Chains A and B, each alone.
Chain A
Amino acid sequence: MRKLYIASLLIGGMALGSTASQAEDKDWGAYKVGDKLSGYTYATKETRAIQDDDFENPAQIWVDQAEGNWSSVEGEAGKSCESCHNAASDSMKGVATRYPVLNKNKAAMVNVEQQINFCRTSQMKAKAWKWESAELLGMTAFVKLQSRGMPVNVKIDGPVTPYYEKGKAFYYERRGQLDMACKHCHEDNPGKYARANLLSQGQSNGFPTYRLKWQKIGSLHRRFRGCNKNIRAQPFAYGAPEYVNLELYLNSRGQGLPVETPSVRN
């Protein structure tokens, strides 16, 4: 039922391709911070309406499942997330605003997906969840949801600076047969149309996101891979250090925007 509803919206959304948003020049409230604009402000009215209503937001299916997984015991240590972290609404609050962070041995940045899997393998003695599995996407969205509305606030000073610099360099580096950098679309051209696609600032504050085109929830790294492949560039693996550094740069670029997980996008 819900699926049908979404499918018809998708078709409607395409027909209305250009009822977007930016032209409306309205007061975007928390979705606009200085000149930083959330992807929400570039989405069609219909898409925004789905995000605004948790009962309509299809991403909630994954989040609900993750809420169940939070308290289910798995692995040889006989623990659940809840055994150590108690109520997610307290222990996970603010996590999404701070990540990625330096890992314990200060050798790499870890994002929320990787931290969850680290807890599964090292604390629970359970198997890591696969990237883009319903379990990992759902738990990531569930953890990030606990920070919804809080401003993104990543640290980029001290030992983190070199990782930030790498992420930034990636953002400005041309790649692929079409030879474009992220900045050519998301910094030079937001508000312009690439065929029927209204280009946004490419902000990261809503991930994992439910994309109508995917008919599914997806990670930020899936989006990176998509944006790489569209310009015929060899994508990196999910969770590759290059992408985690890029994630850090994007979060810092969107510093102050509210965590919007799980967002809904065209």
Chain B
Amino acid sequence: MLRALAVLAVGATFSVALSAATIAAEPAKLVKYEIKDGNSIPKSLTGKPGDAKKGREAAIHRKKGNCLACHTLPIPEQSFHGDVGPDLKGVADRYSEGEIRLRLVNSKVVNEDTIMPAFYKTDGLNRVMKKFKGKTILSAQDVEDIVAYLMTLK
């Protein structure tokens, strides 16, 4: 539902807050955000810039970002980087901060068929294990920290 609307809203500014049905199903703690032009979330989820050092750790952490499962990153102390997704070296040259934030929050807005998980989403999921039900993979703070880290990759 949300995804369909977000896709329809490409070109306009779309607020998640408009989707009453979605809000009702979610724990109240999910931060509201606006998707601009179907391609970017310009504003920080926490209202503040993240911490790039913490973001690097969260990107590595297997129970948090686990980004190395699919991406190669300039993190030489970790072996076996995945290659399911593109190498993220230089990603800040290719995308703006807001575009990176949207890809972390919900990549499916840009590519409905992607394997990349939506790290900040709880609606529209199927058979989630009990202990993860209603929870996002990353907290808003983790998202901002990882965004800050990726913005250092120029």
**A192-B84, A194-B69, A194-B70 known; A234+B118 contact, CB < 8 A:** no
Main secondary structure of the interface of A (DSSP, over half): loop
The reply to whether B127 and A234 form a contact with Cβ atoms under 8 Å apart is yes
CA–CA, A211 to B126, complex, Å?
Answer: 29
The reply to whether B82 and A195 form a contact with Cβ atoms under 8 Å apart is yes
The reply to whether A173 and B126 form a contact with Cβ atoms under 8 Å apart is yes
Partner of A177, one of B68, B79, B82, B125: B125
Partner of A189, one of B115, B130, B135, B137: B115
Partner of A184, one of B68, B69, B115, B135: B115
User: Which of B80, B83, B118, B127 has the most chain A CB within a 10 Å cutoff?
Assistant: B127
The reply to whether B80 and A185 form a contact with Cβ atoms under 8 Å apart is no
CA–CA, A192 to B71, complex, Å?
Answer: 11
Q: Which residues of A176-194 have CB atoms within 8 Å of chain B's CB atoms?
A: 176-180, 184-185, 188-189, 192-194
CA–CA, A247 to B127, complex, Å?
Answer: 19
Chain A, residue nearest B68 (CB): A195
Contact bitstring B113-151, A, C-beta under 8 A = 1, else 0: 001011000000111111010010100000000000000
Which range holds the interface residue count of chain A? 20 to 34
Chain B residues positioned under 8 Å from A193 (CB to CB): 80-84
5 other contacts beyond A175-B128, A193-B80, A196-B80, with CB at 8 A cut-off?
Answer: A176-B126, A178-B137, A179-B117, A192-B83, A195-B80
CA–CA, A233 to B125, complex, Å?
Answer: 10
Chain B residues positioned under 8 Å from A177 (CB to CB): 117, 125, 128-129, 132, 135, 137
The reply to whether B83 and A176 form a contact with Cβ atoms under 8 Å apart is no
CB distance from A114 to the nearest CB of B (A): 23
The reply to whether B129 and A176 form a contact with Cβ atoms under 8 Å apart is yes
Partner of A194, one of B79, B82, B126, B127: B82
- The interface of chain B, by Cβ under 8 A from chain A, is 68-70, 79-84, 115, 117-118, 125-130, 132, 135, 137
The reply to whether B81 and A195 form a contact with Cβ atoms under 8 Å apart is yes
The reply to whether B125 and A189 form a contact with Cβ atoms under 8 Å apart is no
User: Which of B68, B115, B137 has the most chain A CB within a 10 Å cutoff?
Assistant: B115
User: Which of A17, A178, A229 has the most chain B CB within a 10 Å cutoff?
Assistant: A178
CA–CA, A176 to B126, complex, Å?
Answer: 6
CB distance from B90 to the nearest CB of A (A): 20
CA–CA, A194 to B135, complex, Å?
Answer: 24
Chain A residues positioned under 8 Å from B117 (CB to CB): 177-180
**A195-B81, A196-B80 known; A232+B115 contact, CB < 8 A:** no
CA–CA, A248 to B82, complex, Å?
Answer: 31
CB distance from B34 to the nearest CB of A (A): 22
Chain B residues positioned under 8 Å from A232 (CB to CB): 128-129, 132
**A177-B135, A184-B115, A195-B68 known; A234+B129 contact, CB < 8 A:** yes
CA–CA, A125 to B141, complex, Å?
Answer: 60
**A193-B84, A194-B69 known; A176+B128 contact, CB < 8 A:** yes
CA–CA, A130 to B153, complex, Å?
Answer: 53
The 3 closest A-B pairs by CB, nearest first: A196-B80, A184-B115, A177-B132
CA–CA, A234 to B70, complex, Å?
Answer: 23
Chain B residues positioned under 8 Å from A180 (CB to CB): 115, 117
CB distance from B19 to the nearest CB of A (A): 18
CA–CA, A246 to B123, complex, Å?
Answer: 26
CB distance from A92 to the nearest CB of B (A): 36
CA–CA, A176 to B131, complex, Å?
Answer: 11
